[in-house]
Structures are given as C-alpha cells and as structure tokens.
Amino acid sequence: MRALLDHEPTAAVTPPGSGSDRGGAGPDQGVIEEARRRQRARRIRIALTGALLVAGVAGVSWALAAGGSPTDPRAVRPSGGVGPAHAVASASVGFGIRLSPALDGGEYGWCVGVEEHPGVIAGGGCAATPVSSRPLAMELSSASRTLHEDSLVVLTTPQVAAILVNGRRRVATVALPGLPYGLRAARVVTHVSPVRHKDSRAGGRAFARPPAPAVVALDAHGRPIPNESVRGPFEPLNTSERGPCALRAGGLPGLAPQWSHVASAIRPFTGQLVGRAFFSCIDTEFYLRRRPLDAAILLDAAHPGVPPAAIPGLTPVPGQRGYLNGPGDFKGELTATRLRDAWLVVAGGSGVAQRIEVLRHLTPTVKL
C-alpha cells in the first residue's frame, strides 16, 4: 500500500449521489474535514516532539495538538473504561499516568498520558523511551487559565526517589498503579497570578506561564543522579514512503486508508532500556463507516524479531479468543492481537467490535 505521508486525506466513503458527489457539503464532508484535522494534528505533534527531544524532554500536549486546552478534560476523551492494570488518578496524589505504545510508524517507546480525572487524558506526549542513563524519562507540562495553575509531571526511572525543583523544592516520586518496570512519577503544581499585558487592547488580565523549572533527579539518599543529555543534531523521523513493513486491507467494503507513517528500516533501539518497549514499523489511518481507526504493527524495540512484551492495561475480550482490549492514548481505546513476533493493533473507531472487525481484515507484512 502506498504511503500517503505528504498528501491530504482523500474521501473514505463517497456514495453515489451524495452531497460531496455533487460538489456540495454532503454528509461525507465532515469525514474528510475530520481526517484533515487529525493529519494536521499529527504533523504538529511530530514536529514538536522532534524539537523537544533535542533537549531530552517531550512536553507535547495531545490536547494542544488537537486544538484544545491542555487541562481541559473535554479536549481529549477516551472512548472506554479503565483496565485493571491501568494507572488512574489517585485521590492521594491527585493525578494518574497512562502508558500506551507509541503507534506512529518510526517511533520507539511509549505515549504518556496524564490524568487529572480517572479515565480522562488531560495532556501528554509520545516517544518516551526510559533508559538507565536518563533518570528523567519525560517531563510534561500544562497550564490552566481558570485555576491559574502550572503543572509539571515527570516520569522517572526506578532509582529516582525524589526530584529537586529549582534547587529548593523537593517532591517525592510515587509508584502509580499500572506503571510497568518500576517506573515512577512526580507532579509539581505552581499557582500563578494573572498579570496585565501592556499590549492588551482592552487592558485585561492575562495568564502568563512561568519559565520551565530546573529539575534534578535524587536517589534514596538525596544525592543527585546524573542525567545524560540528548546530543544533537536531531535526526528526522525514521520514515519513508516504503519500508520493510506493510498493512493491506481487504474483504471489508468501505475500509479505506488515508495515510501512513512507514519506518524506512527496522533498527534495534540503542541504549539500555528500563524494562521493555515497542517499535512501530508502520501505522495507517483508516476510515470505516465515517469512523477513524489507526492500525499499527509493533515490534520489540531492543530485539526486533523476538515476541514483544505484553501491552499494559489490555485484557482479553470476552468471547473473542486471541483479542485483547484496553485504554489507549488520545486516539481512543486499543484492541490488539498477537502475531508470532509482533502485535497488530487498532485504535479508535466506534468500539471494540469495529476494531476487531478491522483487525480480521488486515494483512500485515514484516521483513526483518
């Protein structure tokens, strides 16, 4: 299947005689516009993630990429419930973290979603690959104009007992339910007063975010842990129009591909991973019955070709042998089936039944 990396999505379904067929704004126009909006959001997210990886953090907000406020729970709303192995917002710590595999082709690691309320992603970022040499695996920031708050969530490796913020504020890390491999997290909330901007025509009060805080990882004895910086220059995403992986759909009328991110090569992740992680060798956005679904092939990040690890939070689908389902990232719930040396996954859609229907009509190809 040809990758549509540099093209706007085409119409997924255009019934004869529809409004779009006649040049008007028919019922499928909303599908086309939604596809274009999702593609633009992905391009923004990829560009921002790449720029931030140079500094060793990925503070991209999914809600911001989708055009909403990072702390607005309406901006990103997953379609389903919370699996038993999934981290939820805890009353004791005030937040939760959701880990799910990064699906965009060419990406390693995890998407990290921050939950201010159970089951609702308030913000997050992708391509987190915790390694032993970088104890601060990911820093995610968001702001609330209504609460006048600035929030920083840090995902850390197991040896980090606390973080030191701006050289004076010490915040303990916590082991949240569902964080695998001993990963930990900490959250820092700063209250910010509104300020008056001189260039405001109405002379109103506006929200001004403070500078990003300096964060140092501390071990159980309070000693700083060296944090390896990411060295530039930044390498572009490992994608091309063709690669060793492919996804072909067939036998399901109306299942139409819109675009793909295809890894140009399958390369083992370099660096000492904490636990295990995934590598997406291709993802393709499909539309079926005016619903967007993202399908991907996931390999083991460090050792492509060996069976990859279990996906956190996924549980067997009752009555559907070989299929698992659970929370995903901003794209919606995730349904997966295990291949011999890979996972075939689909996110989004109208529900688990539609995702299984699509999985049954996909033919994956992986050339190691």
CB neighbour class for 292 (10 Å; exposed up to 12, middle 13-18, buried from 19): buried
pLDDT on residue 321: 97
Average pLDDT over residues 305-311: 96
Q: What whole-number percentage of the chain has pLDDT above 90? A: 53
Residue 186: pLDDT band (50, 70, 90) is: very high
The verdict on residue 311 lying in a domain is: yes
Distance in angstroms (rounded) separating the CA atoms of residues 341 and 107: 18
What per-residue confidence (pLDDT) applies to 201?
57
Q: How confident is the model at residue 209 (pLDDT cuts 50, 70, 90)?
A: low
Residue 336 has pLDDT above 70, yes or no: yes
Would 148 be classed as within a structural domain? no
Give me the domain span that covers residue 277. 1-126+232-368
Q: β-strand 291-300 against 278-288: which pairing, if any?
A: antiparallel
Average pLDDT over residues 67-89: 32
216-230: pLDDT as tens digits: 999 999 999 998 876
Say if residues 266 and 111 touch (Cβ distance below 8 Å). Answer: no
- Two structure tokens written together for 114: 């921050």
Total structural domains in the chain? Answer: 1
Q: Is the predicted pLDDT of residue 56 greater than 60, yes or no?
A: no
Residue 246 neighbours by CB distance under 10 Å: 20
In a domain, 308, yes or no: yes
Q: What is the pLDDT of residue 178?
A: 74
Mean pLDDT of 343-361: 98
Chain segment 142-162, per-residue pLDDT in tens: 877 676 778 899 999 999 999
Does residue 32 lie within any of the structural domains? yes
- The band of 200, judged by pLDDT with boundaries at 50, 70 and 90, is low
In a domain, 198, yes or no: no
pTM of structure? 0.75
Q: Is residue 17 in a domain?
A: yes
The pLDDT score that the predictor gives to residue 29 is: 43
Instruction: Tell me the pLDDT tens digit for each residue of 258-290.
Output: 999 999 999 999 999 999 999 999 999 999 999
H or E element that contains 52: helix 29-53
At 195 the pLDDT is 53
Residue 168 lies in a domain: no
